[in-house]
Amino acid sequence: MARDATETRERLLRAGEHLFARHGIDGVRVREINQLARQRNSSALHYHFGSRDGLLEAILDLHRAPIEAQRAAMLDALDAQPEALDIRAVVETIVVPLTGELATESGRDYLRILPQVSPRRSLPAGKIPDTFGPDGIRRSLRLAHGCLPHLDPVRREDRLANVMDFTTYAASHRAHDIEMGAPLRLPEEQFIGNLVDMSVGALRAPIGDAGTRSPTSR
C-alpha cells in the first residue's frame, strides 16, 4: 500500500476510535469521521473500509492482535511452568493484556468502544465471536475451566462470562475516567491487581444455598 494510502487509513482508524468512544458507534456519521481524518474525499472511509462497520471491525482487529499476542505469551510461560498454574495465574492472562490498553489514548478509546460491541452482535455475555481463533482468550478460558473443579460446567461458564464482562466494563470505566480527568481511586498497577483479586474471588466463591435451589422451589 502506498504511503499516502497507509497514512489515510491510519487517520481514519484514529478518527473512528476517537468518535466511536465519545459519541457511540451509532452516534457518529461517516462524514464526521472523514472530516476528523482530514479527508476531503467523501468516499475515503468507504474506499478503505467498505462501511462504518468495516471501520469498526478494523479498529477491533488492530487492538485485538497485540492483546492476544501478549496473552499467548503469558499462556506459553504458564505451559513452561505448570507448577505456577492456578486460577489466579489464568485470570491474569485475561485481565492484564486487556488493561494494558489503558496506557495509550488509542487503547483507552478501544476500551470505551468494547462494551458497545456485544449488543450490536447480539452475543450473550461472555460469548467469544467466531472470528476469534483457538488461541488467546479461548485458551485462557479452557485453562480456567480446569482450575475450578468445585463448579459444574454450566456454572463455571456463567461465572467466567460474568468475569469477562466485569473486566471489560471496569476497564472501560477506567478509560473514561482517565480521559475525563476524573479522580482515580487507585493507581493503575493497584487497579489491575484489584481487578484480578475480585475476579479470582468471584470464581472461587462457594455455591451458597440460593445457588442450589431452582427458582420454583423458593
The neighbour count for residue 218, using CB atoms within 10 Å, is 6
| Predicted pLDDT of residue 5 | 82
**191 and 120 in a common domain:** yes
The grid cell for 183 is 479522580
pLDDT in tens, 144-154: 999 999 999 99
The full DSSP string for 149-218 is TTS-HHHHHHHHHHHHHHHHHHHHHHHHHHHHT---SS-HHHHHHHHHHHHHHHHHPPP-HHHHS-GGG-
Whether pLDDT at 162 is above 90 = yes
**Residue 94 included in any domain:** yes
**140 and 196 in a common domain:** yes
Closest by CA position to 91, among listed 198, 204, 196, 170: 196
Measured in whole angstroms, the distance separating CA 119 from the mean position of its chain's CA atoms is 14
Residue pair 137/207 in contact (Cβ under 8 Å)? The answer is no
**179 and 85 in a common domain:** yes
Question: Band of the pLDDT at 84, cuts 50, 70, 90?
Answer: confident
**How far, in Å, CA of 139 to CA of 180, rounded?**
35
Q: What is the reported pTM? A: 0.89
| Predicted pLDDT of residue 213 | 54
Give the total number of structural domains in the chain: 2
**68 and 44 in a common domain:** no
Range of the domain at 16: 1-50
